[in-house]
Amino acid sequence: SSEVDEMLNHSIGPASFERDVRWQRQVENHFRINLERMRLIAVESGATLVAVTPVSNLRDCAPFKGDFAEDLDTNIREQLIGDLASARQEYEQSNFEIALGLLDSILSQDRDNADVYFLHGRVLVELGLFEEAEKSFSRAVDLDICALRATTTIQNTIRESFDLPGVIVLEYDRRLSERVRSELGHACFVFESFLEHVNPTVEVHGDIPQSI
């Protein structure tokens, strides 16, 4: 299929995840603590720590789970669900301006749904608005309720935690952005760089150790 169909979808997977901002912040904090543990282990052993900021497919991988805000009025929620379905239909029929209008209207009422931002990014790409599209795709990753791709917070945590002497940080997300932008004119990562949602192609895999 055109989208990832992971085995977990057929057992306990994305459908089982619910939005929990408090839990998400705890995960991010635990991640930060583990990075510090890694740094201390490296210091104590006399090793040089090399950290690589993760990067993922943006344009060709839909969020694993999106949803509207929990406190939305039921009638408004139903309306937005219908508007999103209409926007998808207009996108598939190449009516990109109409789809954009519908999506902008949805975003004016709710900004919590990763699926809306993903489709928004795809429409903007078709209209040649690549810079805005990159922001929408990034937002879709950050709002994915089942976040299997590294969020902006995770990427920035690596940068901030290892901004210290004796640690080498390869900001590969930014390096790949520059490379793809020079080749395609934008950094909306697609299957030219990734085999699926996070695993890069052989060529990109080879570029990582060369960059280090």
- Given a cut of 70, whether residue 208 has pLDDT beyond it is yes
Which single residue is written with the structure tokens 């299929």?
1
- Given a cut of 70, whether residue 188 has pLDDT beyond it is yes
Q: What is the pLDDT of residues 23-79, one digit of tens each?
A: 999 999 999 999 999 999 999 999 999 999 999 999 989 999 999 998 999 999 999
- Given a cut of 80, whether residue 4 has pLDDT beyond it is no
| pLDDT score for 145 | 94
**Token couple for 33:** 């603590």
- What is the per-residue DSSP string for the chain? --S---GGGGSSSGGG----HHHHHHHHHHHHHHHHHHHHHHHHHTPPEEEE------SSS--S-----TTS-HHHHHHHHHHHHHHHHHHHTT-HHHHHHHHHHHHTT----HHHHHHHHHHHHHTT-HHHHHHHHHHHHHH-SS--S--HHHHHHHHHHT-STTEEEE-HHHHHHHHHHHHHSS----TTTBSSSSPBPHHHHHHHHHH-
Contacts with 163 (C-beta within 8 Å, 6 or more apart), sequence order? 169
Q: What is the pLDDT of residues 136-163, one digit of tens each?
A: 999 999 999 988 899 999 999 999 999 9
Label residue 9 by pLDDT band (50, 70, 90).
low
- Given a cut of 80, whether residue 191 has pLDDT beyond it is no
By CB atoms closer than 10 A (0-12, 13-18, 19+), residue 133 is: buried
Distances (CA, A) of 33 to 37, 150, 163: 6, 17, 15
Q: What is the pLDDT of residues 78-104, one digit of tens each?
A: 999 999 999 999 999 999 999 999 999
| pLDDT score for 196 | 87
Q: How far is CA 189 from the centre of its chain?
A: 10
Give 14 or 147, the one with higher predicted confidence.
147
| pLDDT score for 179 | 87
- Has this prediction a pTM greater than 0.85? yes
Alpha-carbon distance of 143 to 65, in angstroms, equals: 9
Give 14 or 34, the one with higher predicted confidence.
34
| pLDDT score for 202 | 95
| pLDDT score for 8 | 65
Contacts with 27 (C-beta within 8 Å, 6 or more apart), sequence order? none
Give 14 or 18, the one with higher predicted confidence.
18
